[in-house]
Amino acid sequence: MTEMQNPYLMFLGDVGDQLGAKTAQGIVDWRPEWCIGQMRLEGCKADLGIEDISIEDAVKAGAKTMVIGIVNSGGYLPKHWISKIVDAMHAGLDIASGLHIRLSSIPEIREAAAKTSRKLFDVRHPTEDLPTGKATPRSGKRLLAVGTDCSVGKMYTALAIEKEMKKRGMKVSFAATGQTGIFIAGQGISIDAVVADFISGAVEKLSPENDADHWDIIEGQGSLFHPSFAGVSLGLLHGAQADALVLCHEPTRTHMRGLPHQPLPNLKECMELNLLTAKLTNKHAKFVGISVNTSTLSVTEGDTYLASLEDEYNLPCVDAYRTGVASIVDGLT
């Protein structure tokens, strides 16, 4: 895996709303020290709350990569962004994109990259050769965030645990499996975009053997109970050979994301199936906590809910944003 160089210049183009800059915002939230400034074109409706800066000033301030952390309808690259991207390469910046379209599929960008010897990163598109999973036991410890559904806080929880462990001086890395996570880690593999045969092999590569007291905190994807994507989640679980699992949940979700007819699993069955299948590659796998996004509840309701979960499952139960994850990390040595 090639690592993107930071600091980043955050390119927002003229994205139409704040939600379209969700990926960029995630990068600023978790790696503010890497984000030198934002560049917005006329009409841009998003704001990352950091300094507006030109390509030239960003380069002077040390920027190494211009990040296009934008979701736009259709996933294409607007024509009037192309010249800015070419300018950035001529000014000395690599380009990293989270768009569906590949940077290298655009002739002007491909040619400018060749001419300037700048690197292009398409984080949605794994390019490297991957092995199939081997399930060979490996040294080091691994924690995986799993979920009752998609978009229930798995990346957030993993990053919060990484941050807490760093604060305590523990040896820790964040292993990114999705596009926002990859920008935040500077490297990673979009696991849902690899060829099906290589899901677990990709995760083994992402979290290789390490010091016995080193933790890889692995970003989960999907859910074993999401019928669109459970294959990805299972391959991820097997490849992770996780020692520790954290279950992530959003308590007001009424159906699986995108599938109105598909009910949510209850937490108990979700933990049981994750544990049963995790043990195929690590028989010591266990749950070490539950992380709930309680933002749609009042503080009192949220606290009551977390307390009831602690009673039921006898595990640290947190809201990674509101209460922090210290109680989960307390149990990890």
Interface residues with a copy of itself (CB under 8 A)?
Answer: 132-137, 191-197, 199-201, 224-225, 227-236, 238-239, 258-259, 261-262, 273, 276-277, 280-281
Minimum separation from the CB atom of position 270 to a copy of itself (A):
11
* Closer Cβ to a copy of itself, 113 or 199, answer by number: 199
Minimum separation from the CB atom of position 229 to a copy of itself (A):
6
Pairing relation of β-strands 286-292 and 120-122? unpaired
Sheet holding 244-249, edge to edge: 171-175, 214-218, 141-147, 244-249, 286-292, 317-318
* Closer Cβ to a copy of itself, 73 or 136, answer by number: 136
* Closer Cβ to a copy of itself, 43 or 260, answer by number: 260
Rounded to 5°, angle at Cα 33 from 31 and 38 = 85
Minimum separation from the CB atom of position 113 to a copy of itself (A):
23
What would the two tokens of residue 128 be? Answer: 């490297």
**CA–CA separation, 231 vs 246, rounded Å?**
19
* Closer Cβ to a copy of itself, 6 or 233, answer by number: 233
Minimum separation from the CB atom of position 231 to a copy of itself (A):
3
Minimum separation from the CB atom of position 275 to a copy of itself (A):
12
* Closer Cβ to a copy of itself, 199 or 309, answer by number: 199
Minimum separation from the CB atom of position 176 to a copy of itself (A):
16
Which candidate, 168, 70, 176, places its Cα nearest to that of 126?
A: 176
The answer to whether residues 111 and 118 touch, using CB atoms and an 8 Å cutoff, is no
**CA–CA separation, 198 vs 154, rounded Å?**
22
Look at residue 255 and give its three-state secondary structure.
coil
* Closer Cβ to a copy of itself, 49 or 227, answer by number: 227
What would the two tokens of residue 295 be? Answer: 């933002």
